[in-house]
């Protein structure tokens, strides 16, 4: 008997309509290319359901299950399609399953289809956070928790180029982590610190893990606590987890984690976690980037003017704090040092600039600093947090990276 139950088609069409593109913050996020596993097939399945071509939808769903046998969402859709052969059904997930589980799978379906239909334009828009990748950073990772999506960008001559995107899950209690055990995913600019291989992990974490440096310098300044935030895979009996399901980590299907591992450089790759990515046109991105580059260069030049330490200190916020000093203590130390120096030369190498999600006026700047004077030579990797105060960029944190 052919599948042709119109009530069922209208029902799942309602779910598909719920995923129609929304207006993105800052700029629309038009279509691009996705490397996203079964999501293109899910798009096809729901398009066929909307058109009441349920036999074609079932055929493609079975193809998906042959490729991804543990894909629970596809099993649920197949169950509904089969059930529609024999009786009218009125809800998504009529095949026997706990109501909570059906709700989670519905959320996953919406997240996957919405992100697929809103994937970014490869050449037209750039995430606002990627102001400048360092020359040794081959790729950057940007997570959009609202869309349950992870995007990979390549460093192509200093300009970010969209490479791939993957479905992800994050903290069961949402985002903006503040305290240990709150089951939230942090928002901010982080970097991958290491790789943990499968043999050293419980099955829960899948085929590997990339820890990130939460809490970072800004998190510690704000008194945020917790640890052990990773990008990792899924258990061996699970293809994917619901959008809100971890204790704060970002999780990917094992197949997607394997692909991601080709892009990640532990100790170098930035991971920027956002609630809702802001997209900039290329012109706007270049203007923001140039504005901060000029501010950093002014700071560097003023530092070289050993007899004019006031100009150097004018680049620091009165709310400045290093790991050990406030602004008054920092200023006193710098004045004493400058008084003993006849000349100073400063060079900045491997400069990166990443805007902090959720705080439009904060940018994380990292570089290798080569400092030379008449009595000291030093090279150190340094990190600064720049804050816009009264229309001018100021440094609110500085320390070794």
Which is catalytic among the residues 75, 170, 227, 249?
249
C-alpha distances out from residue 73 to 93, 104, 292, Å:
10, 9, 45
- The reported pLDDT for the residue numbered 387 is 97
Q: Does position 12 have pLDDT exceeding 60, yes or no?
A: no
- The reported pLDDT for the residue numbered 16 is 52
What are 50-72's pLDDT values in tens digits?
888 989 999 999 999 999 999 99
Q: Which CATH class is domain 125-277?
A: mainly beta
What are 262-310's pLDDT values in tens digits?
999 999 999 999 999 999 999 999 999 999 999 999 999 999 998 899 9
More confident residue, 2 or 160: 160
- The reported pLDDT for the residue numbered 15 is 57
More confident residue, 152 or 93: 152
What are 238-261's pLDDT values in tens digits?
999 999 999 999 999 999 999 999
Which is catalytic among the residues 75, 170, 227, 232?
232
**Which helix H or strand E contains 72, and what residues bound it?**
helix 72-83
Give 130's pLDDT tier (boundaries 50, 70, 90): very high
Give 95's pLDDT tier (boundaries 50, 70, 90): low
Measure the CA–CA gap between 49 and 4, rounded to whole angstroms: 10
C-alpha distances out from residue 258 to 35, 63, 250, 252, Å:
13, 22, 14, 9
Diameter of the chain measured on Cα atoms? 91
Domain ranges of the chain: 6-117, 125-277, 281-400
Q: Does position 190 have pLDDT exceeding 90, yes or no?
A: yes
- The reported pLDDT for the residue numbered 45 is 92
Whether 173 and 186 have beta carbons less than 8 Å apart is answered as no
What are 327-337's pLDDT values in tens digits?
999 999 999 99
Q: Which residues pair with 186 in a beta bridge?
A: none
Q: Does position 122 have pLDDT exceeding 90, yes or no?
A: no
- The reported pLDDT for the residue numbered 91 is 67
The pLDDT > 70 percentage for the chain reads 87
The pLDDT > 90 percentage for the chain reads 76
Nearest to 270 by CA among 162, 170, 368, 352: 352
Active site residue 232: yes
The architecture that CATH gives domain 281-400 is Roll (3.10)
Nearest to 377 by CA among 335, 345, 342: 345
Active site residue 170: no
Lowest average pLDDT, out of 122-126, 172-176, 226-230, goes to 122-126
- The reported pLDDT for the residue numbered 142 is 98
- The reported pLDDT for the residue numbered 86 is 76
User: Chain-wide mean pLDDT for the chain?
Assistant: 90
C-alpha distances out from residue 174 to 148, 181, 289, Å:
11, 12, 30
Give 37's pLDDT tier (boundaries 50, 70, 90): confident
3-state secondary structure 84-104: CCCCCCCCCCCCCCCHHHHHH
pTM of the model: 0.90
Whether 124 and 252 have beta carbons less than 8 Å apart is answered as no
């Amino acid at each position: 008997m052919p599948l042709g139950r119109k009530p069922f088609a209208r029902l799942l069409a309602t779910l598909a309509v719920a995923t129609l593109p929304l207006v993105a913050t800052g700029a629309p996020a038009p279509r691009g290319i996705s490397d996203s596993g079964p999501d293109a097939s899910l798009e096809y399945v729901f398009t066929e359901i909307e058109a009441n071509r349920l036999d074609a939808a079932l055929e493609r769903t079975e193809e998906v299950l042959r490729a991804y046998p543990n894909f629970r969402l596809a099993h649920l859709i197949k169950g509904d399609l089969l059930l529609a052969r024999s009786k009218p059904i009125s809800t998504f997930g009529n095949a026997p399953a706990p109501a909570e589980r059906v709700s989670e799978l519905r959320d996953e379906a919406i997240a996957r289809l919405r992100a697929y239909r809103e994937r970014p334009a490869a050449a037209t828009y750039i995430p606002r956070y990627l102001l400048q990748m360092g020359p040794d950073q081959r790729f950057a990772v940007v997570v959009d928790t609202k869309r349950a999506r992870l995007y990979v960008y390549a460093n192509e001559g200093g300009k970010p180029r969209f490479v791939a995107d993957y479905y992800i899950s994050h903290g069961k209690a949402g985002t903006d982590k503040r305290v240990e055990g709150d089951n939230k995913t942090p928002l901010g600019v982080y970097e991958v610190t290491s790789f943990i291989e499968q043999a050293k992990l419980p099955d829960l974490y899948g085929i590997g893990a990339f820890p990130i440096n939460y809490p970072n310098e800004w998190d510690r300044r704000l008194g945020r606590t917790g640890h052990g935030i990773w990008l990792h895979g899924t258990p061996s009996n699970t293809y994917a987890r619901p959008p809100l399901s971890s204790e704060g980590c970002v999780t990917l299907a094992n197949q997607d984690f394997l692909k991601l591992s080709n892009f990640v450089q532990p100790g170098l790759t930035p991971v920027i976690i956002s609630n809702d990515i802001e997209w900039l046109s290329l012109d706007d991105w270049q203007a923001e980037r140039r504005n901060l580059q000029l501010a950093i260069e002014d700071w560097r030049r003023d530092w070289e003017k050993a007899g004019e330490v006031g100009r150097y200190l004018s680049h620091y916020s009165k709310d400045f704090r290093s790991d050990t000093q406030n602004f008054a203590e920092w200023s006193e130390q710098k004045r004493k040092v400058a008084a003993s120096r006849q000349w100073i030369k400063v060079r900045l190498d491997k400069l990166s600039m990443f805007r902090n999600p959720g705080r439009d006026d904060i940018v994380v700047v990292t570089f290798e600093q080569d400092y030379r004077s008449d009595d000291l030579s030093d090279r150190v990797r340094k990190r600064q947090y720049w804050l816009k105060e009264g229309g001018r960029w100021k440094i609110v944190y500085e320390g070794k990276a």
